[in-house]
Amino acid sequence: MGESWGRTARAGWVIGLSGELGSGKTQLVKGIARGLGITACVLSPTFALVHEYGGRLLLAHLDLYRLENFEQIQGAGLAEYLFAPTGLTVVEWIERCPELLTRAASVALRQVRLETLDENTRRISYEDSGA
């Protein structure tokens, strides 16, 4: 699924991921990267906050897990990725940025929820909104 999303992604899109630890958020991003033609090893940006990868589009992979509010997101220089992306932005722990969710009409946003059903099974649901 992620690879398919990467093949059809357009500049300016934001994909926001929600799900518990270990639910497969980074695995989905790896698929998106493959779809964008990215061959680099995609790693979780938990401590770096953002990793950028070059492919058909620039992929900005953000992780908001360690940030507690929008002021910290802005202070880390991540707001531009969320509100004015030049390529594709994929954000783990999107629920940490309710400001984006409330302004979803002005951003092409896909909100994705990953649920762990058992050790090997996930349920993925999503909703598109915005431009």
Domains in the chain: how many in total? 1
| pTM: predicted TM-score of the whole model, two decimal places | 0.92
Closest C-alpha among 54, 65, 113 to residue 88: 54
**Band of pLDDT at residue 102, cut at 50, 70 and 90:** confident
The CA distance from 13 to 82, in Å, is 9
Q: Express each pLDDT in 51-97 by its tens digit.
A: 999 999 999 999 999 998 899 999 999 999 999 899 999 999 999 88
Tell me the Ramachandran region of residue 49: left when phi exceeds 0, alpha when psi lies from -120 to 50, beta otherwise: left
The CA distance from 124 to 77, in Å, is 29
Closest C-alpha among 122, 108, 78 to residue 96: 78
Q: Express each pLDDT in 6-17 by its tens digit.
A: 999 999 999 999
Residue pair 26/90 in contact (Cβ under 8 Å)? The answer is no
Range of the domain at 18: 2-129
* CATH number of the domain residue 25 falls in: 3.40.50.300
Residue pair 100/74 in contact (Cβ under 8 Å)? The answer is no
